[in-house]
Amino acid sequence: MDVSPLLNPADPMRSDCPGRALFELITSRWPLLILWSLRGGTQRFYEIRNAVEGISERVLSEALKKLCRHGLITRHVEPSVPPKVSYALTDLGEGLLGVMDGLTGWIGRELENVEAAKRRHDAQQHRAG
């Protein structure tokens, strides 16, 4: 009898993993920063753009669409002229921010050690070069 091992459907190492698109989205350059900007509540497009320094309007627009599609944020359009569009975290987005709190806490605790490691590495590369 052939018994295949149970496969984790959320294993991003597998090419057929249905969660891989979500994993790729949240580990790309801007989405977590956009979510972080929404932790204080609903924001308009320009407020997010101003909060996330260095992001272009085109990239922000694309990222917001993906975050909405994946259920991490909501988009609300007020029927006015011009329309007022705002974004807010969903419960899923709030949950992801809980994970990010752990990551930012780790960065805060370990940043000095990481910077020291970078200096050692750069010094070794300089001596070797």
Burial of residue 73 (number of CB atoms within 10 Å: 0-12, 13-18, 19+): buried
Asked whether residue 14 is assigned to any structural domain, the reply reads no
Percentage of the chain beyond pLDDT 90 is 75
57-79 confidence digits (pLDDT tens):
999 999 999 999 999 999 999 99
The C-alpha angle 8, 10, 14, rounded to 5 degrees, equals 75
- The reported pTM is 0.82
Asked whether residue 76 is assigned to any structural domain, the reply reads: yes
Which tens digit of pLDDT belongs to each residue from 4-21?
A: 455 676 787 888 888 888
Q: By mean pLDDT, which of 16-30, 43-57, 58-72, 105-119 is the weakest?
A: 16-30
Asked whether residue 11 is assigned to any structural domain, the reply reads no
The CATH number given to whatever domain includes residue 47 is 1.10.10.10
What's the pLDDT band for 50 if we cut at 50, 70, 90?
very high
Domain that holds residue 109: 20-128
Structurally, how many domains does the chain consist of?
1
Q: Is residue 15 part of a domain?
A: no
